[in-house]
Amino acid sequence: MSRFDLRLLLDPPRYPADRYAPLADRIKRLFATTRGDVVFVQAEATLALEAVATSIARPGLVAVNVVTSPYGAWFGAWLARGGATVHQVNAAPGQPIEAAAVSACVDRLAHVDVVAAVHAESSNGALNPLGALAALARSRQALFVVDAVASVGGHPIDFDEHDIDIAVIGAQKALAGPAGVSAVAVSARAWAHIDARPDFAPSSLSLAELKRNWLDRGRLALPGTPPALEFWALDAALDRVEAEGVAQVIARHRQAAQASRAGLRALGVEPWIAADEAASALVTSVRAPEGIHANVLIADAAKLGVELLPGFGEIEGRIVRLDHTGLRASFDAVLANVTAFGAVLERRAVKVDIGAAVRAVRDVYAV
């Protein structure tokens, strides 16, 4: 890091007007979608999520909002702020949602306009059942809104197959790109919903305004002063993803999750998300032993030069996250995570088998 020449960031060339549309099309290809538009939000993904909630909310709208992390809770709050009636379906802290809980909520309602959920969580390692949620939304002709910020590039997402109406995309997680520009994929049905109400423009939260100022004008330069550094970085991140192949990027995340889970089990501890198919491929969480705050373990690992992460949300302090997102979805990062976690447990007199953990990680990566 210290050798990085900060002057390289100065005076970037303008991002060419005719590159935005191809850039959006490349994002569409990540979802293998032929329907739906992609628009850019010139901000971090949380703002894109707020823009989506604000653009679809209105008095009388009935939303079933799945909450498996603070992101979902914020989304529900933004919908409610816009006048929507929000039925929150909360998972057990830090765990994925059970489709049956969402189905029970939907069944109690005479009418559902929106079903919203995070796909994969980087904050706790939960993976929500996208297919089941999609089917529930479809069964009620509700808009299906997905926070795919973390999952894009980490899990297969098929916008068309799952009949997704709105997906929010960030480049800073599995795609290993910049955090300062985001994208939103929007179906024709979602545009019709948004357009059915007078726009609240001018506003940075208005998807209708993005559509009018960019899509409807032939997708050339974005209005305002687009952040050239961020767009060049997104372009370069997509180059790297395409060179590897998105299927391979997804497979690399799956393998990192598999190896992390096998490593933890061989160490003698159970992953926080018990079922493999309900675990996200971005991070693997593990419970801190009774009586030990997660931050103590994280601080010990930092002394080894390994960055373990705390949980985000209600489970902060109770879990440690082994991060294998983006470039960290690799043998060396997984091995360092698992062995460092074993080492810090051992230091606190927890009996672990670090040798077996190393072998288990190796076995998953064995060529």
Ligand X SMILES: *Cc1c(COP(=O)(O)O)cnc(C)c1O
Phi-psi region of 32 (alpha: psi -120 to 50; beta: other; left: phi over 0): left
Residues 6+ apart with CB under 8 A from 335: 263, 358, 361, 362
Q: In what order do the strands lie in the sheet with 182-186?
A: 37-41, 182-186, 166-170, 143-147, 114-118, 62-67, 85-90
Residue nearest to ligand X (CB): 150
Q: Candidates 79-87, 169-177, 192-200, 206-214 — which segment interacts with ligand X by CB under 6 A? A: 169-177
Instruction: Report the chain's C-alpha Rg in angstroms.
Output: 21
Q: Candidates 7-15, 165-173, 204-212, 219-227 — which segment interacts with ligand X by CB under 6 A? A: 165-173
Closest to 231 in 3D by CA, of 219, 221, 245, 241: 221
Q: Does 150 bind ligand X (CB under 6 A)?
A: yes
Write the DSSP symbol of residue 12.
P
Q: Does 323 bind ligand X (CB under 6 A)?
A: no
Which of 24, 27, 45, 273 is close enough to bind ligand X by CB under 6 A? Answer: 45
Q: Does 181 bind ligand X (CB under 6 A)?
A: no
Q: Write out the binding residues for ligand X, residues 68-87 only, by CB under 6 A.
A: 71
Query: Nearest-5° angle of CA 356, CA 357, CA 362?
Result: 95
Q: Is the peptide bond before 202 cis (omega within 30 degrees of 0)?
A: yes
Which of 149, 176, 207, 249 is close enough to bind ligand X by CB under 6 A? Answer: 149
Q: Does 170 bind ligand X (CB under 6 A)?
A: yes
Which of 50, 147, 230, 323 is close enough to bind ligand X by CB under 6 A? Answer: 147
| Helix, strand, coil share of the chain (percent; to 5) | 45, 15, 40
What number of chain residues touch ligand X (CB under 6 A)? 15
Q: Candidates 105-113, 145-153, 187-195, 226-234 — which segment interacts with ligand X by CB under 6 A? A: 145-153
Q: Does 176 bind ligand X (CB under 6 A)?
A: no
Residues 6+ apart with CB under 8 A from 236: 177
Q: Does 314 bind ligand X (CB under 6 A)?
A: no
Q: Does 37 bind ligand X (CB under 6 A)?
A: no
Which amino acid is located at 242 in the chain? E
Residue number, 140 or 324, with CB nearest to ligand X: 324
Residue number, 46 or 54, with CB nearest to ligand X: 46
Q: Write out the binding residues for ligand X, residues 118-137 only, by CB under 6 A.
A: 118, 121-123
Q: Are 319 and 288 in contact (CB under 8 A)?
A: yes
Residue number, 313 or 342, with CB nearest to ligand X: 313
Q: Does 46 bind ligand X (CB under 6 A)?
A: yes
Question: Residue numbers of the site for ligand X (CB under 6 A)?
Answer: 44-46, 71, 118, 121-123, 147, 149-150, 170, 172-173, 179
